[in-house]
Amino acid sequence: MNSLIQLRHSLHQNPEIAGEENQTAQRILEFFKSLEPDDVIEGLGGTGLAFTFKGKKPGNRLLFRCELDALPIKERGNPSYKSQVNGKAHLCGHDGHMAIICGLGEKLAAKRPESGEVMLLFQPAEETGEGAKRILKDPRFGFILPDFAFALHNLPGYPLHQIITRQGTFAAGSTGVIYSFEGKTSHAAHPDHGINPASAISQLVLDIPTVIEGLNGFALATVIQIALGSQAFGTSAGSGSLSLTLRAFDQDVLEKLKSQMEEKANSLAKAHGLKLAISYQESFAVSTNHPKAAAIAETAFQSLGLEIVENSDPFRWSEDFGLFSQYCPSYLFGLGAGEHCPQLHEPTYDFPDELIETGIRVFERIMRDQSNGKS
């Protein structure tokens, strides 16, 4: 276990953000060389890695996934292994998640599954919502599509080692959207000679509650940024943009929210004589827990005697793992990181090393139960 903690600390010291995880992937690849997996896929979906361990008999293919990327945030805590890269840090715990999957790899190297296959996936670009999409679109992944996929995320604010579960939707889907309006600049003394998008942008913000109220289910639109013209006091702005984050607990509701906000924006642009361009960024699918995958995981939780809490509502944050649930029965659960642990993405957050062993135990029990024909 000490070697896994040291690995976690080393990863923490050398963070790489989404799309830049080359050295992190190389470090993981070196770790697995001595474990001699049956198959290795490099460069999956960019910098991703997949290691497969095969059993003696045919059976289900199980996927256990973790994330490679860190965040573009400056670390303010002072662990002895503090980030050595200015402005970048593992403030979401992906370093710990990688250590857990590496530990599961050690267990598989010591004893292969009785049946089926186990694939350990190190996914890039989780934080931007691009990684899962790239993995699933990679032609090589089509040949190793799993029968079940599992992932965990540490959750500050919950007792250390507690399991946080939920049937159905576990976490919201979300997307960033930018509505860019183009009009015509004019002299500030004669705004009527130009087309200023201020009124259209203001009205679009005011129309958000009406759109939300017309949807059947939880939905949220958060104003992220409003940009309009420049600080030139003699000029009436001719361009501007509104950036929102849209989220919902149901994928259909999220799609309706996107569609209806687009209709509003287009209608306002037309009414004000503006051109409109709409772009989406950092899109995350709803994380939906499949009943069969849930039964497998929850049997493992109970057999290990872990404390389990059922979350009453889905989490409002999003996780890139949600896209896997559109391709195979999947299950995402939380692992308590301590009631007083700083929240995820806070500059003083640090993954609790104590969780590495717990995460390994849970994933190994799921794997062993399945390979032995239990559910």
Q: What is the pLDDT of residue 375?
A: 55
Model confidence pLDDT, tens digit, residues 320-365: 999 999 999 999 999 999 999 999 999 999 999 999 999 999 999 9
User: For the chain, which residues make up each domain, given as ranges?
Assistant: 2-170+286-371, 173-283
CATH 3.40.190.10 fits 173-283, yes or no: no
* Single pTM value for the model: 0.93
For residue 39, is pLDDT > 90?
yes
**Assigned CATH for 2-170+286-371:** 3.40.630.10
Model confidence pLDDT, tens digit, residues 81-97: 999 999 999 999 999 99
Within this chain, domains 2-170+286-371 and 173-283 share the same CATH topology: no
Query: 369 near 148, Cβ under 8 Å?
Result: no
Query: Any idea which residue has 């399945």 for tokens?
Result: 370
- In DSSP notation, 145-211 reads --SEEEEEEEETTS-TT-EEE-SEEEE-EEEEEEEEEE-B-EETT-GGGSB-THHHHHHHHHHHHHH
Percent of the chain with pLDDT over 90: 97
Model confidence pLDDT, tens digit, residues 249-277: 999 999 999 999 999 999 999 999 999 99
Report the distance separating Cα 358 and Cα 354, nearest Å. 7
Percent of the chain with pLDDT over 70: 99
Burial of residue 30, with CB atoms counted within 10 A of its CB: 0-12 exposed, 13-18 middle, 19 or more buried: exposed
- In DSSP notation, 10-37 reads HHHHS--BTT-THHHHHHHHHHHHTT--
Q: What is the pLDDT of residue 317?
A: 96
Buried b (16+ CB within 10 A) or exposed e, 342-369: bebeeeebbbbbebbbbbbbbbbbbbbb
Beta bridge partners of 54: 117
Q: What is the pLDDT of residue 86?
A: 95
Q: What is the pLDDT of residue 354?
A: 97
| Widest pairwise Cα distance in the chain | 81
Query: 101 near 159, Cβ under 8 Å?
Result: no
Q: What is the pLDDT of residue 374?
A: 64
For residue 235, is pLDDT > 80?
yes
Model confidence pLDDT, tens digit, residues 121-146: 999 999 999 999 999 999 999 888 99
Mean pLDDT of 157-173: 97
